[in-house]
Amino acid sequence: MGRISKGAKCSVEGCSNEAARSLDFEKVYSAGLKVKGGRRVYLCKIHYKEYKKATRKDRMIDKWRRTSIP
């Protein structure tokens, strides 16, 4: 049983929604979200969607890099 199922709150400053996902602090911080916390960051559905939009180009480039290697 993880922290999200126990009712963890979103780690973004000013948000008090229930968390839906747990991600690495460095990845979320580099995406531009103002987060507080340690190694793990908990995001609600709204902020997870913002995170996905902010990292879309990086994920696409990584995908191309992995598939182009023979």
pLDDT in tens, 10-66: 999 999 999 999 999 999 999 999 999 889 999 999 999 999 999 999 989 989 988
Q: Would you list the DSSP string of 11-47? A: -BTT--SBP-EEEEHHHHHHTT--B--SSEEEE-HHH
Residue type (1 letter), 3: R
What pLDDT does residue 69 have?
Answer: 65
Residue type (1 letter), 62: D
Separation between Cα atoms, residue 68 and residue 36, nearest integer Å: 37
Q: How many domains does the chain have?
A: 1
Domain region containing 18: 1-70
Residue 67's pLDDT band, with cuts at 50, 70 and 90, is: confident
